[in-house]
Chains A and B, each alone.
Chain A
Amino acid sequence: MQTEKTYTEDLQNIVGKGNVREATAEDAIEGTAPSLVVEPGSVDEISAVMKLASANGLVVCPRGGGTKTGLGAPPRSVDIVLSTARMDEIIEHVPGDQVVRVQAGVKLEALQQKLAEANQMLALDPPEAGATVGGVVATNSSGPRRFRYGTVRDLIIGVTVVLADGTVAKAGGKVVKNVAGYDLGKLFTGSLGTLGVIADCNFRLHPRPDSARTVAVEVETPQAARDAAQAIVHSQVEATAIELHWGGETRLVSVLLESIPGGIGAKEERARFLLEPFGGVRTLEDEEADNLGPLDPSPVGDEVFVKITAPPAELAAVLESVLDAAGRRDVTARFTGHAGTGVTFAGLSGEEGALVEVVGEVREIRTRSGGSLVVVSAPLSLKQKADVWGPAGDYGGLLRRVKEKFDPGYTMNPGRFVGGL
């Protein structure tokens, strides 16, 4: 195709010959195949690629580590996958300021390793191995530590973005305390590449804890799981994470405690005391604790993986509503979750029609009480039958207006986000 060749050459002129290639089957996004994969090496190159794409009506899908390409509805179309793989520089890390500035394509693990040299960490611990910083921001990915440190929105302090028309803009800065201008870093958090390309981000950092211990309680019922989690939430223990693990033989609420060596024992003792009324308590060996991380949201087989949010005190109701809806339809459910913050993940297996019904029923119950259910990953056929995101509430119109201001031509990842944006 003549036109495609022209774009290839134009793109090669921007990013260099070796950094444009034809897409393969592995680059497909939810069954939709792009034509080209482009790897810009700088903000200017991203900008030039975006200008070319938007001027020619080409649809662009940004990609970091590719660990979350299954999140969202299938795209309406894709022409170019814009990979941030070459943007992998840690631009600035001043340990004394406890902030770091990184390009979007830096792998989170690599960043953590680098920060550890200064005894610091970015307090984000999503389960996906290989995720990039930009991808973690774009998908608002978080892990157990959110109980203590919050999520991406709480840690991002600055951002450089490139809009669909190539405009480069920054917001925030490299100081922790800053209220100058609008906080676009937060706006882009979780925007799934639909507003622009995240080129680099600044984060606040935390000191790495000196010592850690995980105390767990074996619970029998959803109510006991809820009550155990609540006992820690409302204590003065200052836990780092409170996690639920429920599936097969396992029914556990685990509590990650971190402190200085002189303080960890007291924390452990206090947590054990608080958990005792709800079941057998034990302190986990490191290896077992490591294995009790949250579920990786890649489906096991044909498993449908959903994220359910609810007020944290409604944990028992969340589990019961899923178990009930699943049980009536011969669907099996396993759970992990951040039991202190109201985020529960469920892996559901069963016949597709039944899974669609379970998703619909649980979503309706959770939405009614102010929560949500999002399908994190699922076979394409299911996504075509069950809305991935669910209803947006009364802010849906506002979401659309934001999208249309930032990307009026729907160049960026169209159709994948809430409400078909």
Chain B
Amino acid sequence: MERSRLIGAMQEILGPDGVIHEREQLRTYECDGLMNYRVIPDLVVLPESAEQVQNVVRLCYEEGIPFVARGSGTGLSGGALPVEAGVLIVMARMRKILEVDIPNQRVVVEPGVINIWVSQEVADDGYYYAPDPASQIVSSIGGNLAENSGGVHCLKYGFTTNHVTGAEVVLADGSVVHIGGGKAPDAPGYELLGAFVGSEGTLGIATKITLRIVRKPESVRTLLAAFKDTEEAGGAVSGIIGAGIVPAAIEMMDALTIEAVETTVAPGFPEAGAILIVELDGPEAEVASQFDKVIETCEANSASEIRVAEDDEERALFWKGRKAAFGAMGSISNDYYVQDGVVPRTELGTVLKKISALSEEYGLRVANVFHAGDGNLHPLVLYDNDVEGEAERAESLAGDIVFTCLEHGGSLTGEHGIGEDKKKYMPKMFTSDDMNVMQLLRCAFDPHQICNPGKIFPTPRLCGERPGPFHMHPIQKAGLAENF
């Protein structure tokens, strides 16, 4: 279809306001939160209803045009990176909270609803939405679903996948399905919703999402503990978990991160080699007793200082310091690369040491701020883009860090996704059979692979193929297509 006719057809569906086609305006959407990769989409559309999404997707399907859905664009792995000859479907105008059902602890929202709005909506009823990525004031529920976002409180409460109970999904052919039970559990059939959450927009577009909301706890207590180094702090983490305590959050920041945070938001953190923020919540008596145990454990691991948040204001300050950490890096480095590896908790100490050695080897600083409770590391590799070759070295160092995570039984990504950024690493974690079998799912949902193509998998196969030894597809043999 000619571009001008496509624009016309999209305008028929969305009205003139809902279609962006001027090159300068399109550039706004050339990347998401990961700015290493930039692609200007052919067209951007802004649907306001599920029906419009369906019509847009159907048109794309009929014309064989690939499309990518985008929420707030805060993703850090290039999951919402546009495809050049494709349509970018921006969900930001679909931001209605459709239903609040307190008796069943469920909220139904459109995908463009911002994460924190859900908690705000149900706060007066004594509820909140548990998954709280650091980007929660801007990231959308649809994007959270696509990436299976985590957050600081997922140690106790789980990830997005544990809190999405149903979704209305527009599939690649424009058909609409409702997966997951929504308000009733255990819908008969395969667990399609569990497979869909975290599929990084490659299986369809969610147009309506049912979320579980959680009762606010009776009591919340937070402390900040300072240590000589990350090893001692790590010892405290092991001690807390070993005592059978499941904190709502355990976060660690190293000296470089503390320095950056103090330079910017200045929460008044103590000078230390490492800081832990530990939060407990739940019934009062339980929290009080376990909180004492946490303090003892920190002391036993030579904490140089322990501060207990006296009120909500002080707690907010602790969290402000933690959540500002990424942004604060700008104060000590021109550029930085966020890594998102995971290691088994017992390997934390070893891996942190190796990261430190790698940092020296590459001659680049690495700041560590991470979810210590679940082993999800966020080493920030600091570099200067103006120094020739440094960006490449930073990426290479970040790669070596994540390979170290894999060597120690970990994963390539804990919450940011594979997206465009890490697909080249997938063969380090999965065999070609593993990935081919994952592709079977993709082929069931999107046989022509027009839904966010090119993400997650380095070399997706055509859907007619069976897993097993590689055979050239007939279309390739005939010289009609490049290697897939």
Contact = CB atoms under 8 A, between A and B. Distances in A.
Interface stretch (A104-112, A169-177, A273-281): A169-177
Nearest to A156: B194
Contact of B192 (A165, A175, A233, A402): A402
Interface string A393-417: 1111111011111101000000001
A177 B191 contact: no
B438 A176 contact: no
A183 interface: yes
Interface residues of A, number: 93
B263 interface: no
A392 interface: yes
A31 interface: no
A366 B216 CA distance: 30
A370 B105 contact: no
Given A207-B244, A263-B286, A311 B104 contact: yes
A389 B290 CA distance: 45
Interface residues of B, number: 96
Describe B's contact surface by its main secondary structure.
Answer: loop
Interface in A304-334: 307, 309-313
Contact of B414 (A175, A237, A259, A394): A175
B74 interface: no
Best-surrounded residue of B199, B283, B342 (most CB of chain A within 10 A): B283
B434 A170 contact: yes
A175 B429 contact: no
Interface in B181-235: 181-192, 194-195, 197-199, 215-218
A347 B461 CA distance: 48
Contacts of B468: 165, 167
A169 B195 contact: no
A186 B181 contact: no
Contact of B344 (A99, A207, A396, A399): A99
B440 interface: yes
B453 interface: no
B184 A266 contact: no
A58 interface: no
A398 B440 contact: no
A398 B371 contact: no
Interface stretch (B155-163, B301-309, B326-334, B354-362): B155-163
Nearest to B422: A180
A392 B189 contact: yes
Contacts of B182: 370
A130 interface: no
Contacts of A173: 342, 409-411, 429
A18 interface: no
B269 interface: no
B467 A167 contact: yes
A195 interface: yes
23 contacts: A97-B345, A140-B186, A154-B161, A165-B467, A167-B436, A167-B437, A168-B433, A169-B434, A169-B438, A175-B374, A186-B161, A186-B194, A187-B190, A208-B244, A230-B103, A236-B215, A262-B285, A263-B283, A311-B103, A311-B183, A342-B183, A372-B188, A399-B190
Given A191-B190, A195-B190, A236-B218, 9 more contacts: A99-B344, A151-B186, A170-B431, A180-B418, A184-B437, A260-B290, A372-B188, A393-B177, A405-B441
Interface of B: 101-106, 126, 147-148, 150, 154, 158-159, 161-162, 171, 175-179, 181-192, 194-195, 197-199, 215-218, 238, 241-242, 244-246, 282-286, 289-290, 342-346, 371, 374-376, 409-418, 422, 426, 429-431, 433-438, 440-445, 456, 463, 466-468
